[in-house]
A and B are shown apart, each in its own frame.
Chain A
């Protein structure tokens, strides 16, 4: 088991390193300059490039960057926000995105599970059809349409929620952004829960439990849900990362200061900020790779066949 875990960790670290390398090279060679060049002379820009070490060969720049990363710093912005240190700004934005993401996950999984369970328990009835329709709509409707819909109806037509996100009323003004983000989670969780529940409910051990007189909510809670939820957790893991790392469109529409908006600002400003784009990409990639690593290790623990297969390979 130790060897399996070590191998997985090593693979993850290598993947992350490759991602950073490819991104680093791509960002350096893509068109666009980190400086807003409208009022700067060529001489001033050359001076700036020298200060930031952009005149060195790309590989040297890459190793400089890696040694900076190893010392626990993302460096300073190359053009965005004054060249201020990236870390505190990134952490503040991550915190905003993270809080709204957690709300979205909580809301999405709760509603999704409820819809899935109701559909499974009423399989083949009108209720099942309605729940399935809801979950299909959730996948089909682009999330930004739902966002604008929520904003229009619940902040404009019925002015109950604030139109824009207001950091001084965090919880209240997070409701619409997090609800709009949770749409995909709701439908994914609902569909998987329904299918898994139906499969488990048809299994022999549930039938045995029924034959022993167990029924209703107790049967679902003790025997069905516990087994049905494991695959559901696997499916929602990547969705969780998506929600935690913010949503560019949602953050733009509601005016949330999150990492999605930060990424757009870093790319779409007058100058592309190399260091912000890299720092954000590293954070996003690390989260994905980290969650996949945890899942891989969990699979290894749960199912020894995976461990063996990895060993043989």
Chain B
């Protein structure tokens, strides 16, 4: 009996010794809203993964605090006169196992990426980076024909089909990061990036603790990083927290230094004199919008093929009310197909969607004009009643549920004869619906992959792959093609103007009803500074972060 008592006492003493203030070690602890899907740059598809990959690996370029592309592993680069050949000159950088970072590491990674044909391989192809032969390799062609080569270990030559004005900025995106070929080939199939032992870094941090699906990820400073002097943190950790309530409590408790909050919590923080000092509203870059299924064979008799009906729905929604009363995280009502505070002009720096009144002849017209559009639709279609369903993925929190309910009430109150039946579903099921044509209206969003309007406008071409709107417009397709691989690709200003023309066609036809530009409401502790936030590509960068 005495022995048992002594053992219990010893255990209690050990526990007491192990305890302490959770935040006392002064390390940065950051909330991740969702799991890291993969640390393999060819497989990653989500912002959490891209962020952690960018913590560990540097590409040719990186984004500075203002979102401009500056050199990273490439010390400098030359562009040929026709704008189609980029020659990157690499600096002396090391992988965390001591190997040199060479041009071959990029060649290997890009070829592998194109060859494996994963979700983001389209970034190499003719709709984005336009790397020579990328489309053919993605479709199963010989990877050695891809337009990337390494004449010597410190020189990388990339050949493009057409000039791409934002190519240097693309090089900051994780899809274009290098992989150490020798290290990769020494691993068992499928194990790359599944543990600290199977992942090499050439960036600011190395993995200390990680496994796929990890709720807690720890990183520490990479002593062999080429720009190690810039990195002030000894390391930091991520905690995956899906609940915004939980995140807020953990922030108050100092268990987390950086968290994202939503909805009512934003209001309660704004009303709190102390906490409101820590609140920052940061552009998330994504656009939330309604997508209409225009297939005439659609199970609701193709009513949405009628442009007036789509315009009626788009104009019946009070976007200001959505953001002020339901989303409440600083998100902004949007009347353009490109979100706010995104894609600045290279010379003027003005954001593409700065003029929100540009399309006020077709959008944002209010209830009376919406009802006029509806009356026109009724007479054209010879019907008085339109029963439509509105589908959305409900596993990303309750904000989208509130938004869907608000849209339903706006549409049904303002447009007599139109009913919207809400159909919430898990994301996997939702994606099956929108790609298999079994929906009328979808409440959806798109997050930009790179800092150019084309990351959005590409979605609605005849071959656009996100949602089957069944809308096809030759003039629209031509503008997009001209701006990516055609005559306008090399002329920056003419291309810029043409992109507005494409956006006009899109909104005049009410292919989509843009709703709001998403903002992130972020709480950052007083003692933390220097985190860089970006609307496109890698969301957060910690290279210059400091914890006092």
Contact = CB atoms under 8 A, between A and B. Distances in A.
A211 interface: no
Given A81-B194, A82-B212, A175-B15, A33 B253 contact: no
B431 A36 contact: yes
B242 interface: yes
Contact of A38 (B209, B246, B431): B431
A270 B15 contact: no
Given A36-B119, A39-B45, A255-B241, A167 B216 contact: yes
A41 interface: yes
B19 A172 contact: yes
A89 B211 contact: yes
A89 B15 contact: no
Interface string A149-170: 0011001100111111111110
Contact of A40 (B119, B192, B214): B119
B6 interface: no
Given A37-B431, A156-B253, A159-B21, A167 B43 contact: no
A152 B252 CA distance: 11
Interface string B381-410: 000000000000001000000000000000
A45 to B, nearest CB: 9
B258 to A, nearest CB: 14
Contact of A269 (B120, B241, B243, B428): B428
Interface in B409-464: 426-429, 431-432, 435, 463
Nearest to B139: A43
A93 interface: yes
Interface stretch (B32-40, B57-65, B339-347, B470-478): B32-40
B465 A82 contact: no
B119 A80 contact: no
A38 B426 contact: no
Contacts of A151: 249
A84 B18 contact: no
Q: Chain B, interface size: which category?
A: 35 or more
Q: Chain A, interface size: which category?
A: 35 or more
A189 interface: no
A238 interface: no
A307 interface: no
A31 B429 contact: yes
B38 A37 contact: no
Contacts of A172: 15, 18-19
A304 interface: no
A251 B240 CA distance: 11
Nearest to A47: B117
B191 interface: yes
A89 B190 contact: no
B35 A164 contact: no
A168 B218 contact: yes
B255 interface: yes
Contacts of B122: 39, 41
Given A159-B253, A252-B242, A255-B240, A82 B431 contact: no
A38 B119 contact: yes
B400 to A, nearest CB: 15
Interface string A264-279: 0101111110000000
B211 A39 contact: no
Contacts of A262: 213
Given A39-B119, A270-B45, A165 B255 contact: no
Given A32-B431, A80-B213, 17 more contacts: A31-B428, A32-B428, A36-B431, A37-B431, A37-B435, A43-B139, A81-B38, A82-B192, A84-B194, A85-B188, A156-B249, A159-B254, A162-B22, A172-B18, A252-B242, A255-B239, A255-B241
6 contacts: A32-B428, A35-B119, A44-B119, A84-B190, A89-B211, A172-B19
